[in-house]
Amino acid sequence: MRSKIAGIGKYVPEHVVTNDKLSTLMNTSDEWITERTGIKERRYAKRYEETTATMGAKAALIAIDRAGIEKEDIDFIIFATLSSDYYFPGCGVLLQRELGITKTEIGALDIRNQCTGFIYGISVADQFIRSGMYKNILLVGAEMHSMGLNYSDTGRDISVIFGDGAGAVVLQATEAEGQGILTSKLHSDGTFAEKLALICPGSHGGYYNKYLEEDIDYGFSQDNEFGDVFVTETMLEEGQTFPYMEGKFVFKMAVQKFPEVIMEVLSEADKQPSDINMLIPHQANLRISQFVQKKLGLSDDQVFNNIQKYGNTTAASVPIALCEAWEEAKVKEGDLVCLAAFGSGFTWGATLINW
């Protein structure tokens, strides 16, 4: 028995934010952003009206309907995000509440693997289905980045990349010959965790982090043996509460690990890159996707990219792209589909599916 994707859905906010719009907020331009990332626009959710969980619920309802089941048939929830509504609890239970299925008291699991979250989630769901523990698993990847970006020249390199949105799938068991998830491979290496991270606020004490290239003054009072406030004025003034990324280093790692893990799942399934009907890479940077495509010798028809329209939606990017490719009939029954992602951690992984 294998698990299959029985239904898929996506949701992106209505509000379109172009590169030209961002250039009114910071020193950038459409040409600068497009050249470095391939992004032309992204979507921003309605603040105070939409959240990561509510967007996830909208995508989930579409996936549930396309799976031909009722929301009450869901017996487990997996939610992948780096931008949860609250620091805790996670979005899994908030999604359950949003869908109105709390009476069944099903389990809800939150995954914090950033850009690779959906790939990790599909692997976990696959094992639950194969074991017979659950029958209908709802897996959601959703992000609301717009509420936590630095829209100044200081944060320009990161802020222009990210967008909001959600994607969801329903996984079920299948005994159909040649159908379903063939294999998944997951990896991580925490050696360079701080190269792509949001370090403050955190529970590290704030005085010293031996993994950073240089010590950071977090503005704590070191003579307080009972600890200090969660966020200090220094953190706010110096922008330490925003994401940090060493772009060139991340790019170098991504273009190395993407092809490696894709070849790993292909090898296990006794397949070659030429056998892939559709590769859905995490939409991190169009230049990364193009590098991977060239490295594997894939044609334009074998790779799906939509970062141009939505930016990097991290955990949501793979399911949004997969859903859009399916809606456009670029993913069809019998196709060999590969999903792959690389992100903060560093974590990376790939999944191979007979659709």
Q: What is the 3-state secondary structure (H, E, C) of the chain?
A: CEEEEEEEEEECCCEEEEHHHHCCCCCCCHHHHHHHHCCCEEEECCCCCCCHHHHHHHHHHHHHHHCCCCHHHCCEEEEECCCCCCCCCCHHHHHHHHHCCCCCCCEEEEECCHHHHHHHHHHHHHHHHHHCCCCCEEEEEEECHHHHCCCCHHHHHHHCCECCEEEEEEEEEECCCCCEEEEEEEEECHHHHHHEECCCCCCCCCCCCCCCCCCCCCCCCCCCCCCCCCCCHHHHHCCCCCCEECHHHHHHHHHHHHHHHHHHHHHHCCCCHHHCCEEEECCCCHHHHHHHHHHHCCCHHHECCCHHHHCECHHHHHHHHHHHHHHCCCCCCCCEEEEEEEECCCEEEEEEEEC
Catalytic residues: 115, 282, 312
